[in-house]
Amino acid sequence: MTELPFQVDLKDKVVVVTGGAGVLGAAMCRALAACGAKVVVLGRDLAKAEALAQEIEHAGGRAMGISANVLDRPSLETAADHIKATFGPCDILINGAGGNNPKGVTGQRYFDPLTAGPENTSFLELDIAGFQAVFDLNFMGSLLPSQVFGKHMVSRQGCSIINIASMASYRPLTQVAAYSSAKAAIANFTQWLATHFARHGIRVNAVAPGFFITEQNRKMMVNEDGSYTERAQRVIAQTPMARFGTADELLGALLWLACSKASSFVTGSIIPVDGGYSSYSGV
């Protein structure tokens, strides 16, 4: 079982983690299971979800992998019913599914009509279908699970939703227009939903990771020889701690928000875990 920054009591809590088989999601799943939760690793790739669930079970935890598409309500409802019948109703939902797509990214940081083209896309040529796909995955992919699993939480004590925001929730990041727009929407949605559910037993908060190397952003951040790309170097220059984060460094904030005893009066908060990135003005 994973090494924890501290222990909280999540015994028998049913925790659903969308995108749970990813680099950051897997670290969260392991930590939640180590605190006694019954963890559901939910994702489109059933084999990956089941492999992580088996790893957690072999380490002494309780987990199951289940396939569902966070953009498809019927598949989410089927998953929710199966989880309720097997583990019980969802107590904590972590909306970890998200990511980017090259079709939602511009090739240019700054608009330059002289260099714009198929290999150096400006905003004016941005693929709208690609933009929509990225926005939907990151925003609607949190909204729909919140609706489906929220039905299992209403008027039950100790329930919460934890969204995954981003540094893009605070300031837009160059080139990734769709991702930045969606993550800004996540921050606003977190506060809106926290208010909406505040009198019915559901706390809603978000963790806003700084920059971490994952499989989805590796090509943008790391060259084939292992050195940092120019974009990665700009990130480090804007991060006072002068490094990328590691997945286990998200766990303290996550466990604090997941534990209703530790954060019982916390709702509508977006917690940055960013090495100081969001606090640095650049000068």
- pLDDT, one tens digit per residue, over 138-180 is 999 999 999 999 999 998 999 999 999 999 999 999 999 999 9
Q: Do 219 and 265 fall into the same domain? A: no
* pLDDT more than 70, % of the chain: 99
Q: Do 162 and 234 fall into the same domain? A: no
d(CA 15, CA 29): 9
Domain encompassing residue 74? 14-210+247-272
Q: Would you state the pLDDT for residue 66? A: 98
Quick check: 136 and 144 in contact, CB under 8 A? no
Q: Cα 268–153–78 angle (5° rounding)?
A: 120
d(CA 132, CA 103): 10
Q: Do 89 and 227 fall into the same domain? A: no
- pLDDT, one tens digit per residue, over 172-205 is 999 999 999 999 999 999 999 999 999 998 999 9
Q: What is the DSSP letter of 76?
A: H
Q: Do 239 and 116 fall into the same domain? A: no
DSSP string across 83-126? HHHHT-S-SEEEE------GGG--S-SS--TTT-BTTB--GGG-
Q: Would you state the pLDDT for residue 118? A: 82
- Among 170, 179, 228, 280, the active-site one is 179
Q: Do 124 and 162 fall into the same domain? A: yes
Q: Do 172 and 110 fall into the same domain? A: yes
Rounded mean pLDDT, 50-78: 98
d(CA 86, CA 97): 22
User: Does residue 1 have a pLDDT over 60?
Assistant: no
User: Does residue 2 have a pLDDT over 80?
Assistant: no
Quick check: 139 and 186 in contact, CB under 8 A? yes
Q: Do 163 and 238 fall into the same domain? A: no
CA distances to 4, 56, 119, 162 from 249, in Å? 10, 19, 36, 16
Q: Would you state the pLDDT for residue 283? A: 84
- pLDDT, one tens digit per residue, over 20-32 is 999 999 999 999 9
Q: Would you state the pLDDT for residue 214? A: 86
Rounded mean pLDDT, 217-241: 93
Amino acid identity at 229:
T
List, edge to edge, every strand of the sheet that includes 14-18: 62-67, 38-43, 14-18, 92-95, 159-164, 202-209, 270-273
Q: Widest CA span of the chain, in angstroms? A: 60
Number of domains in the chain: 2
- The reply to whether 179 belongs to the active site is yes
